Structure 1
Amino acid sequence: MTQAEQPLNGFEKGFTAADEACSDVLLVHEAQEEEPTSAPGETYARARELGLRTSQGCPYAGMTFTVRKGELTALRGRDGSGKTALLLTLAARMTHNQGELVILGEPMPKRARKVQRRIGLGLVKGVNDLRPNLTVESTVAAELSLFGKPAKRENVESYLRSWQLEGAARMNVGDLPAEKLQQLGISLGMAGDPEALAVDDVETGLTLRQSTRLMELLARTARERGVAVMVACASRDLAQMADCVIELS
């Protein structure tokens, strides 16, 4: 996997017949007692009447919201609701065709390439799949090298410890349990010290307890590193762990 530029022009596959109608959207802010410790409230993305219409349907439409650094934002909706399409749009990897979107002060999609390397991407099926026959440490070493960071064994081991993955260092990626695979994806997304991180699907193959731990990890990452973290999920309980919830229905 790499975090290199991956422009996507529209979203033409993977939608069910239910997606022929545009999504209705509700923006909900959840109060949190603890404020972000870095760049509190700084704007990462601002959307106005944002929408995407394709020959397959309308994944999302009419969306107006702000995503801020230092906060965890949940994009919640059922399967096929368009949350992955919206997530990729907010990660500057997919092109919208309705409304306005500004990311890191740059208008999208015109300046998408400029901001892509400032946005980390967790694992998204079909977008940045990992090679299953590589070890975890080899995968991390390659990602660190991509961003010009030292990738000697001691550096890789230190990085894995920081993400609680040291016990999986010599495992093949394809042999990882679902929770550890998601942790690895998150760690790879943060390898370039991005200003934002987008994570898709923290539920498939996981228990609620495991998904909760991942949400806690993402919330800490947002708060302690001052990055805008966006996560797509279906569970209302998981979404309520975020600082801000964008509902797609």
Structure 2
Amino acid sequence: MEANPDEPHGAAVVADGFGLKGPRGWVFREVGLRAEPGSLVAIEGPSGSGRTCLLLALTGRMKAHEGHAEVAGLRLPRRMAAVRRISALGPVPGVSDLDPALTVDEHLRERALLQRRYDGSVRALVRHPAERAAATRARIDEALAAAGLDRDALPKSGRTSVRDLERLEALRLSVALALIGRPRVLALDDTDLKLSDADRAEAWALLRSVADAGTTVLAVCSEAPEGALRITTTAGDGASADADGEPTGTGAEDPDEADDADAQATDEPQDAAEAGTSAQAADEDRPGTDAGAPDARSGGDTPAAQAADETDSTDDTENTIETENTIEEGESDAFAETGRA
């Protein structure tokens, strides 16, 4: 199906009373957001305030429990799988990490092959090998140009290992890998982490250029840049404001709760491609599959502890089932990102 040339490439992102609850309480609540296609949205706040969970929930990787959101008109949490198909993750620690042992070219070839295999049309798969190779090179070059990564400027050109990249170069590579799929929404975590002032300015200039090209960008950061649409998560009262200073709401009530949910999110592969094997992808559709979410019923090994916890067993069981369903919902519709465990 051909894209409508009059339709903006980026996706509008809308949230109203959006909230996610972990096993120990609310991670964030009452998030309000109105972002037009091609917007640069900065999710700022201290570590442990639910920033990463909000990012993953808005891209269909975690299931919210309160309110709703829409991405390109796709309502969350009902259309999580559809939202994952039009969004891509840049660097998100524990979810879409680069492999330090692979080279830049190996990462690019791997992502292009996965994209062609799982996101291409049947007609593209039966094209002449020379045509497929040319199309792959063109898509890689397009993504590298958009991310501002010059392979020839690297120490060993495309043979440079990821472990030898500077922080800003690794960020550009992650963005390029995400853009190979031509997503409508690009999401990044810890955008300004460990960057100098000069590198931070370059990183935000890169993301602005991606947004100006039409892709909606959601970026977690410690401090939002000037001109970005801002959402602030806090560990206290949860107040936040956008770029115009108007209240939008959000926040976690306890930093530990956000840490738990962040850990829950990173245990979940963003796609079956990251899970590593097609057999693991097949297991995602089986009833009762769990991605390792914490069991709220564990603990209290002694008789005294069991007696003390007995009155709360019903609530704990409900929290456990809800957490497991959250992870299971986020594991379907795989094979779009990296292809490594």
Q: TM-score, normalised by structure 2?
A: 0.56
Matches within 5 A, 1:106-121: 106-121=74-89
| Alpha-carbon contact 2:18-2:67 (below 8 Å) kept | yes
CA distance in 2, matches of 1:61, 1:140: 38
Amino acid at match of 1:158: D
**Alignment partner, residue 230 of structure 2:** 245
Greater gyration radius? 2
**Alignment partner, residue 165 of structure 1:** 150
For residues 104-148 of structure 1, give each alpha carbon's deviation from its aligned partner in whole angstroms, at most 9, with x where no partner exists. 212222221122121011010111122211110110111112222
* Counterpart pick for 2:222 among 204, 211, 234: 234
Counterpart of 1:219 in 2: which secondary structure? helix
Decide which structure has greater strand share: 1
| Alpha-carbon contact 2:42-2:218 (below 8 Å) kept | yes
For residues 127-185 of structure 1, give each alpha carbon's deviation from its aligned partner in whole angstroms, at most 9, with x where no partner exists. 11222111101101111122228556954773475132313321111221111111111
Cα distance, 1:135–1:106 mapped onto 2, change above 3 Å? same
Amino acid at match of 1:39: P
1:86 Cα offset (Å): 0.7
CA distance in 1, matches of 2:61, 2:32: 19
Q: Which structure 1 residue ranges, 4+ long, deviate > 6 Å from structure 2?
A: none
1:241 Cα offset (Å): 4.0
- Residue 80 of structure 2 is aligned to residue 92 of structure 1: no
Matches within 5 A, 1:1-249: 39=8, 44-148=12-116, 150=132, 154-155=137-138, 158-159=141-142, 161-162=144-145, 163-166=148-151, 167-168=153-154, 169-224=158-213, 226-235=214-223, 238-242=224-228, 244-249=229-234
CA distance in 2, matches of 1:161, 1:99: 38
Amino acid at match of 1:122: G
1:103 Cα offset (Å): 1.7
1:46 Cα offset (Å): 1.3
- Tell me the C-alpha RMSD between the 2 structures: 2.2
Percent identical among aligned pairs is 28
| Structure 1: unaligned runs, 5 residues or longer | 1-37
| Alpha-carbon contact 2:108-2:140 (below 8 Å) kept | no
Counterpart of 2:29 in 1: which secondary structure? strand
**Alignment partner, residue 333 of structure 2:** none
Amino acid at match of 2:40: L
CA distance in 1, matches of 2:186, 2:115: 16
| Structure 2: unaligned runs, 5 residues or longer | 1-6, 121-131, 235-341
| Alpha-carbon contact 2:40-2:216 (below 8 Å) kept | yes
| Alpha-carbon contact 1:88-1:94 (below 8 Å) kept | yes
CA distance in 2, matches of 1:71, 1:160: 19
CA distance in 2, matches of 1:137, 1:234: 31
CA distance in 2, matches of 1:234, 1:39: 29
Amino acid at match of 1:103: V
Cα distance, 1:159–1:172 mapped onto 2, change above 3 Å? farther
Q: TM-score, normalised by structure 1?
A: 0.76
Decide which structure has greater helix share: 2
CA distance in 2, matches of 1:229, 1:179: 17
CA distance in 2, matches of 1:62, 1:127: 25
